[in-house]
Structure 1
Amino acid sequence: MTGIRVLLVDDQELVRSGLRRILRPRDGFVIAGECGDGADVPAALAATEADVVVMDLRMKHIDGIEATRRLRLGGPHPPVLALTTFDDDELLAGALRAGAVGYVLKDSPAEDLIRAVRAVAAGDAWLDAAVTARVLTAYRRSASRTVPADLLTSRELDVLRAVGRGQSDAEIAGALHISEVTVQSHVGRILAKLGLRDRPAAVVYAFDHGLVTPGQDTPDPVPPAVAPRVSPAPLRFSVLGPLRAWRGTTPLDLGPTRQQALLAALLLRPDTVVSDTELLDDVWGLEPPGTGTDVLPTYVLRIRNCLRAPAETTKDSVVRRERTGYLFAGQGVATDVAPLSALVAEADAAEAAADLAAAAEACAGAIGLFHGEPLAGLPGPFAEGERRRFGERKLVLLQRKADLQLRLGRHTEAAEELAVALAAHPHREPLAALLMRALHLRGLRADALAVYRQVRERLRHDYGVEPGEELDRTRAAVLRGR
């Protein structure tokens, strides 16, 4: 067999099934083995060769952190890619410190898992800088620890700070005005001097020793290589994933996560005045800064500096001060929320015209606009509310697309996609009902009933409730052969 050999470690068969459907042989992967608990990993690796271990962090007996730590202490082993959620901050911090070389969020697109496994198998790390910053800052072991003065040169400290921020070799080279080869040489010496195993370990070290603090330590911008434009290029934002922005085709550095959270609270309510008090509640919630609303002008100034075009002289840029608060001027600014709404409207029109194939295609296009968890890693009640709202919107689209596929007779395609979605959202009964229908329509009656049993067991174990009427009706229909 050829391909990247993967050992799957997760205590839920439903999740492993979904992972198997993503890491397919035709895409260059081989499932070398599976484990239901971290305690079984050493034996599984002894019995088969693996290039990557995909490890869940939450397991009943030996969790992913302890299993990763044992692998590291046991000598040479395949790199570990952790599976986690945004609710697993403490576990994720522990996994990175235990030796995981990267992580994938469970609600990420399937493409992210594929790219992550390939990157880790090739010897690279797979880290989201924004999430890593939030996690390691929240769970820093000792904020007072410092790097011994005689260990690293000032240049090596600069490089280590940049590595901690998640910058690539090319970005570090541009910021420090050195070559990429020199950056790589510095990184190698840093790892050797500090006794670190790899780049992810250097990221953890930088946070543990206070070299990088989100909100206070941001990379210096690289000076533009061309003259400023007379007419500013338009602004474009993406919120259906980590918050990103571009001025024309140039990506913008939006600063630390709290600053981004304030920007999101304005951006997603364009041309609406948001009061100072409301912004404070949106971004800081129950833990406002001691200075109260006096902190807002500083954050807004930084946001304006991030978004202002090189030739722009307007004081307010797109964020304007009004009598009672701030307003984001939305004219001429594009976000990925607009095409999402347009594709949903297109699906509505196509379904009303009985063109189910066009409706399914429009739903697929809308789902494709998501590239991870919306506003990933941003703190505060507003960002959390928007994450839930957009996340629910995506799930509704997934369910609608699957229903359309079933009505079109695309049972196999629907079943594969629903299995992956249900693995990420194991309590979502409408997804389970659709998967049962898809499997039943394929003639896999036993598999359909197995889905019911697994979801019922999960609901009873996690919430102490029985499945709802929809899932029970679907089970009865499968039993009757309808």
Structure 2
Amino acid sequence: MPEPITVLIADDHPMFRRGLRALLGTMPEVEVLGEATDGNEAVRLAEDLHPRLILLDLHMPGGDGLAAIRRLTAVTPQPRILVVTMFEDDDSVFAALRAGARGYVLKDTDEDEMMRAIHAVGNGGSIFSPAIATRIMAFFAEAGRAAAPFPDLTPSERGVLQLMARGLSNETIAAQLSLSSKTVRNYVSNVFSKLHVVSRAQAIVRARDAGLG
């Protein structure tokens, strides 16, 4: 038989702890080792009980969850941390992930999803509530767009600009990309508009300054 997923619950609301313990009681592969009511107690119990998984709220009195996560990364063996909270703002989500949390779900998550999260993080994976996953994906997509030069350009327009910056003519670009000359002229016109330039030379200077070409 596989070893049970040993769990420590860390939350300052007694009713929520009882509900969570009741849910865990329906999972024969899970063993609850204890409960903490604040971050300091969570760290102390983790050092004493060595749970594999900690279900931890972010905002608790007497030592908040974020500080606890940072301290728990130094506990040996290091527990896996699943944040279970009502807070879904970007600051809370990314602060928890930076601190070392392996998953992040909301307290109103349904029971099946909560059990999947417990299994996933307890067995070494990572998981997020759908709303949180969408937020994370949007954040990194936006970061990727911001990191790329000229984020207003489409990938095709950026590719044409890059070839322009290498000194290629429209006809050569069309042949290289298997496009019509008219299509390339349209892309070049869009590039001029989005870069707020009036000539090919100005566009090339902007592209080379940004590292294209």
Given that 1:85 and 1:107 are in contact with CA atoms closer than 8 Å, whether structure 2 keeps it comes out as yes
Pair 1:130 & 2:131 matched:
no
CA distance in 1: counterparts of 2:137 and 2:63, whole angstroms: 26
Q: Give the Å deviation of 1:117.
A: 0.8
TM-superposition CA deviations, 1:222-247 (whole Å, max 9, x none): xxxxxxxxxxxxxxxxxxxxxxxxxx
TM-superposition CA deviations, 1:18-40 (whole Å, max 9, x none): 10111125442111111000001
Given that 2:11 and 2:36 are in contact with CA atoms closer than 8 Å, whether structure 1 keeps it comes out as yes
Q: Give the Å deviation of 1:60.
A: 1.3
1:36 counterpart residue number: 37
CA distance in 2: counterparts of 1:89 and 1:211, whole angstroms: 17
Alignment map for 1:450-469 (pairs within 5 Å) = none
Q: TM-score, normalized by length of structure 2?
A: 0.60
Pair 1:97 & 2:98 matched:
yes
Q: Give the Å deviation of 1:47.
A: 2.1
Secondary structure at 1:34's aligned position in 2? Answer: strand
CA distance in 2: counterparts of 1:61 and 1:33, whole angstroms: 18
> How many correspondences in the alignment?
145
Q: 1:70 to 1:26 in 2, by over 3 A?
A: closer
CA distance in 2: counterparts of 1:212 and 1:7, whole angstroms: 40
Q: Give the Å deviation of 1:88.
A: 4.0
TM-superposition CA deviations, 1:342-378 (whole Å, max 9, x none): xxxxxxxxxxxxxxxxxxxxxxxxxxxxxxxxxxxxx
- Name the Cα RMSD after superposition: 2.7
Which entry has the higher C-alpha Rg, 1 or 2? 2
Percent identical pairs in the alignment equals: 34
Q: 1:76 to 1:51 in 2, by over 3 A?
A: closer
Secondary structure at 2:19's aligned position in 1? Answer: helix
Match for 2:136: what amino acid?
T
Q: 1:35 to 1:66 in 2, by over 3 A?
A: same
Match for 1:29: what amino acid?
V
Given that 1:56 and 1:84 are in contact with CA atoms closer than 8 Å, whether structure 2 keeps it comes out as yes
Q: 1:212 to 1:83 in 2, by over 3 A?
A: farther
CA distance in 2: counterparts of 1:103 and 1:78, whole angstroms: 15
Match for 2:14: what amino acid?
E
Given that 2:5 and 2:122 are in contact with CA atoms closer than 8 Å, whether structure 1 keeps it comes out as yes
Alignment map for 1:44-193 (pairs within 5 Å) = 44-74=45-75, 76-127=77-128, 128=130, 129-133=133-137, 137=139
Q: Give the Å deviation of 1:107.
A: 1.0
Structure 2, unaligned stretches of length 5 or more? 156-213
TM-superposition CA deviations, 1:275-334 (whole Å, max 9, x none): xxxxxxxxxxxxxxxxxxxxxxxxxxxxxxxxxxxxxxxxxxxxxxxxxxxxxxxxxxxx
Secondary structure at 1:42's aligned position in 2? Answer: helix
Q: Give the Å deviation of 1:75.
A: 5.4
Alignment map for 1:302-451 (pairs within 5 Å) = none
Q: 1:212 to 1:24 in 2, by over 3 A?
A: farther
Given that 1:9 and 1:36 are in contact with CA atoms closer than 8 Å, whether structure 2 keeps it comes out as yes
Match for 2:144: what amino acid?
L
Secondary structure at 1:41's aligned position in 2? Answer: helix
Secondary structure at 1:67's aligned position in 2? Answer: helix
Given that 2:46 and 2:75 are in contact with CA atoms closer than 8 Å, whether structure 1 keeps it comes out as no
